[in-house]
Structure 1
Amino acid sequence: MHASSSSSTSPTQSFPPGFRSRRSHAKSRNGCLTCKQRRKKCDEKRPCCTLCETSLRTCTYASSDQGSSRSGESTAVPSRSSLPSPVPSPPGSFGGGLSWAQPTEQQLSRSPVASSGQGSIIDDANPYNITNSDLYFHFLHHTCRAAPSWQKDRLLLQVGIAKLALDNELASHAVLALAAACLCCDTMAQADADPEKVRHILDLGLEHHTLALEQMRTMTSHPRESDTQPLLASALVIVPFALAFQHIQHWVVRARGLPQQDADLVTPRDMILLLRGIRTTIVALNSNLVENGGSKPKSFWDTMLSSQPVDPTEAPTMPERLHTMYPILASTFYQASWQLKCRIEGALASPQVDEKIDSITETYEILNDIMSSTFLDCPRSKIPFEYDSTFSVSPDSLLAQAPGWLQNFILQRPRPSHAEPLSRSFFAFFSSAPQTYIDLLLPLLDPRTDATEGDRELSTAELLALDVYAHWLTVMLLLEKEAWWVGDFPFVALQGLVSRYGHGFSSASSLQQQWWPAAMLEVAARLKQWK
């Protein structure tokens, strides 16, 4: 099974209720091999000792016929016979409006999965036998370390959310879904990756993602104080899964050799809806007061990581700023942004002005601020935030009951610097954009749109909405190294956008200047050929 890791925390007497403390015993040489290797005192509980159980390690006894066992299945998952469609219908609101049938629940087998020898949780002899414990193990030992580039965010996953997943069903589903997506990407990176194996793992993640959304929808309808922490923590990981699902599904379709048109339009439609819903939920939690009034005393877990400043001068440069495309985008974005602004102003000067263009103007300003803050040495002081600058947490609100480390992450202001990831500010674009723009854009990003619908002539407002969106996708090309869950999504999504709506952007280019998103897509494609 897996080699042990020093990053997993052994239970001590200082842990809060919910963790099982090891019982005292006399000195013995009959402990499990895992505890011996880690030089820990084993309580010799069979078939799995307490230390291995709480840390989700493989518990093996040298002279026992029990075999190895791993427990820790905290949640039930749907049966394989009732899987939903591989591409979920995006919710109309936060976690709501799911169109697939409700799956029946049954417990997964707890039989262990043997190691493949490379730290993988997939047994080569039986690659489809992956349990919840296997996914959680992968979350602790790989996803937590690979997902965020910033150390403080990495600690938040490794400690805060990892612990919450053991105590709360909603957080467990969200964490297991993200771990499944991470495992998919790891499997795809192998030279002989099997698309059926990747699809199987992705289906497991989709099951957990579906259950997490259902529980979030129930909690947000009548929020309680006990729901605040799992709601906020789960929101941090369901968005990466929604985006990762898109490019993983696209890879599976291509690897199966299906027709190209079946995977042409890959969009962040689900992610946009989730981001908007999360913002609404945070505002709602800040508006609902604690029933009994007053705040409860903060425990160690509530206060950890709540105030740990990071000196940017001591932090390494983020990978996206070392991306090959970074200097190219930095040297061309200003002219591209100016040309986009001219196209919007030209539409406003038209005798028949669509009122929706005003929202596009506002959205353009948000995107321009993001690009300026990213590429200029002296960024503008005005940076778009997910929330108004006057937003503050009400002392007696449900939001105030969330631990400090979670509040700080949810409400932190995205300020791009060489030592902070760009993903926060890039995704703030959709959180900050006016609702009128979102309502205009989303129907155009629906992958289920008929071909005849995609061939219709776009209105000026629709064309400009897609134009702004295409510029956002272009800067997103920088994130393929910084965030595994982004991966090839920006490249594939931009390809699909040009394929479906490219005819509509002919007026955006001229003989002297090519349309910026298409030009950068061509550069990115050529760079991929040389990698």
Structure 2
Amino acid sequence: MPTSTETMERSSSSSSPTSAFPPGFRSRRSHAKSRNGCLTCKQRRKKCDEKRPCCTLCETSLRTCTYASEQRSSKSSESSATATSQLPSPVPSPPGSLGGGSLLTLPTREVLSRSPVPSSAPVLSLVAVGDVLSHVTDADLYFHFLNHTCKAAPSWQKDRILLQVGIAKLALDSEVASHSVLALAAACLCCDAISQGGVDPETVRHILDLGLEHHTLALEQMRTMTSRPREADTQPLLASALLLVPFALAFQHIQHWILCAKGMQVPDLLTPRDTILLLRGIRTTIVALNSNRIRSGSSTSKSPWETMFSAPPTDSDECAAMPERAHSMFAILAATFHQASSQLRCRIENALAGAHVDESTASVSDAYEILNDIMCSTFTDYPKVDIPFEYASFFSVTPDSLLAQAPGWLKNFIFQRPRPTQAEPLSRSFLAFFSSAPQTYVDLLLPLLDPRPDTMAADDRELTAAEVLALDVYAHWLVLMLLLEKEAWWVGDFPFVALQGLMARYGDRLWGAFYAPPQQWWPAGMLEVAARLRQWK
């Protein structure tokens, strides 16, 4: 009688799927369904190879590859190891957070409301889950850049593609570009969380500190690269410089919101110092790359997508008007800028007619001419006229220079001439003001915008005529920047808060010499209009 063991062996043998087939027959392997594939492949019903940060199918078809957010394990050691292994770039995880308070100069004490970031792209689930926001990793920031930041930053569809494909791919190959991408994504994530409301300000501060650390690391590596430029550094240098400008401006108004939300005392004036220095640093970087020659015999290969997007941009008459032209203040500024500009010109000419005219006053006059060109090109009936100042002049690229080796899509993005047409964004032409302003004017203005030491409760010293006019021109520039709060999320509340702080610090020393009621001064009057419009929204 067979034992139970023998019976089980015969039963197992008879139920084996290979027992009914002749020797040498190879049965088909059962397919193990992938449950960790990217969301894009799942929607397309394609087999995903689960390659991170971008699967092979999405990479070859130039699609956005997005993975579902990993559920955090209760074991902190396993969670930390998993997050570290999923980094999308060679950037190590930050060892700690850097406090950004020392860089701030901030004005009012009321919490300012923010409008949601204008984008058709859905905000990642990271923003919707408060407890996840406090555990943001570099991988989370990279995917937020792919799915939201690069779609919300520019207004041109072609620029969006270049950021989502060109810059995103460069971040996987270059450490400095990766730091710049992650810094900008952190700022965007902060703005998204603020716009949705109900977020803990300490959580926003944690994300902003993470972005600030990436920003600092990118700047340090860029300094090293510019001291010894190489051909391989051309793309990372140019791309990183462009990404760090919006972060520097966003950092100011995000940190202001954090301090106000926590009920902390804030300084009395926002400063665009870092933004201005970065804008001028871009020009310095371009000049340095254009003056350095490549080594003989070196050549660069072009990828198919690089060739596809290297054609010069063309104007399209079918594009809809930019959001800033639909801003409620656009018509008001267009109707009043002529008189304001004429009055500012008269004040500068009166100063130039004085007995003691120095280089500073002359530089303010040059800066005014640049700003007036921008205003005329923005609000006149012939918007397709090029802005007639130095920044818009054609840049001659030396054929055998490092700059000439940059891909066409990146050079087109950098050298786009600021022409504020109905279908083009205004941010490029407005920021071009500080790229073109004389260095003497910048050196005169920036110390006036720096935060005051705690020991100086009030700075009551008498301003020179050149300093008053420098602040006057700067205030008119801030009025223009009010139009960008819808177009550029990274501008946000900066112009409004900065203009409030400018008036709070300098008061009648700035406009008292010219106008009896301050509302007759154009920047003060437009600030009052902007404040009332915010109350009605």
How would you bin the TM-score normalised by the shorter chain?
Answer: 0.7 to 0.9
Deviation at 1:316, TM superposition (A): 1.1
2:34 is the alignment partner of 1:31: yes
Alignment of 1:197-276 (within 5 A): 197-259=203-265, 262-276=266-280
Residue 79 in 1 paired to residue 129 in 2?
Answer: no
- CA separation in 1, counterparts of 2:472 and 2:136? 43
| In 2: Cα distance, 1:126 partner to 1:39 partner | 29
Which amino acid in structure 1 is aligned with residue 338 of structure 2? Answer: Y
| Residue in structure 2 matching 1:146, options 149, 152, 158 | 152
Q: Closer, same or farther in 2 for the Cα pair 1:83/1:348, shift >3 Å?
A: same
CA contact (8 A) 1:132 1:176 kept: yes
Counterpart of 2:467 in structure 1 is 462
Distance 1:400 1:341, change over 3 A: same
1:70-219 paired onto structure 2 within 5 Å: 71-74=86-89, 75-80=91-96, 83-88=98-103, 119-120=125-126, 123-219=129-225
- Confirm whether residue 482 of structure 1 aligns to residue 492 of structure 2: no
* Amino acid across the alignment from 2:368: Y
1:353 to 335, 349, 357: 357
Q: Does 1:364 align with 2:398?
A: no
In 2: Cα distance, 1:380 partner to 1:359 partner: 28
CA gap 1:137/1:390 in 2 versus in 1, 3 angstroms: closer
C-alpha distance in 2 between matches for 1:344 and 1:117: 47
Which runs of no fewer than 5 residues in structure 1 stay unpaired? 1-24, 91-115
**Does the C-alpha gap of structure 1 residues 530 and 511 become closer, same or farther in structure 2, counting only changes over 3 Å?**
closer
- Structure 1 residue 304: Cα displacement: 3.3
Is the 1:275–1:430 contact (alpha carbons within 8 Å) kept by the matching residues of 2? yes
- Compared CA separation, residues 411 and 386, structure 1 to 2 (3 A): farther
From the superposition, tell whether residues 399 and 117 of structure 1 become closer, same or farther in structure 2 (CA, over 3 Å): closer
Query: Which letter does structure 2 place at the counterpart of 1:134?
Result: D
Conservation of the 8 A alpha-carbon contact between 2:518 and 2:525: no
Name the CA shift for 1:384/1:33 in 2 (closer, same or farther; >3 Å).
Answer: same
The amino acid that maps onto 2:446 is L
The code of the aligned residue for 1:72 comes to L
The structure whose Rg is larger is: 2
User: Which piece of structure 1 moves more, 161-170 or 119-128?
Assistant: 119-128
Question: What SS class does the counterpart of residue 512 from structure 2 fall into?
Answer: helix
The letter of the residue matching 2:157 is Q
| Cα displacement (A) at 1:31 | 2.0
Q: 1:481-508, CA deviations, whole angstroms, 9 ceiling, x for partnerless residues?
A: 0000001110000000011112212123
CA RMSD of aligned residues (A): 2.9
* Counterpart code for 1:234: S
Alignment check: 8 A CA contact 1:42 1:49 kept: no
Residue 379 (structure 1) shift: 5.0
* Cα deviation, residue 510, structure 1: 4.1
Provide the rounded CA distance (Å) in 2 between the counterparts of 1:132 and 1:118: 14
Runs of 5+ unmatched residues, structure 2: 1-27, 60-64, 72-77, 106-121
Cα offset, 1:355, TM superposition = 2.5
- SS of the residue 1:214 aligns to: helix
Contact 1:384 1:432 in 2 (8 A): no
Q: Relative to structure 1, is the Cα distance of residues 234 and 44 closer, same or farther in structure 2, using a 3 angstrom cutoff?
A: closer
| Alignment partner, residue 320 of structure 2 | 316
Aligned partners of 2:58 and 2:429: how far apart in 1?
39
Offset, 1:387: 3.7
* CA positional deviation for 1:32: 2.6
Question: For 1:396 and 1:495, how far apart are their aligned partners in 2?
Answer: 49
The alignment's TM-score, normalised by the length of structure 2, stands at: 0.82
Is the Cα–Cα contact under 8 Å of residues 273 and 446 in structure 2 kept in the other structure? yes
**Contact in 2 for aligned 1:32/1:42 (Cα 8 Å):** no
Alpha-carbon spacing, 1:349–1:218, altered in 2? closer, same or farther (3 Å): same
Please give the alpha-carbon distance, in whole angstroms, between the structure 1 residues aligned to 2:225 and 2:44. Answer: 41
Residue 307 of structure 1: how far off its partner (Å): 1.0
Distance in 2, matches of 1:36 and 1:355, equals: 65
Describe the superposition over 1:356-376 as per-residue Cα deviations: whole angstroms up to 9, x where unpaired. Answer: 111111110000000000001
CA distance in 1, matches of 2:306, 2:400: 16
Say yes or no: does 1:528 pair with 2:526.
no
The corresponding residue for 2:296 is 292
Deviation of 1:411 (Å): 1.2
Deviation at 1:159, TM superposition (A): 0.9
Question: What is the match of residue 398 of structure 1?
Answer: 402
- Which of residues 64, 67, 70 in structure 2 aligns to 1:57? 67
238-247 vs 349-358, greater mean Cα deviation: 349-358
Query: 1 CA distance for matches of 2:231 and 2:192?
Result: 37
Residue 349 of structure 1: how far off its partner (Å)? 1.1
Q: Is the 8 A contact 1:295 1:396 kept in 2?
A: no
- Flag the 1:50–1:382 CA change in 2: closer, same or farther, 3 A: closer
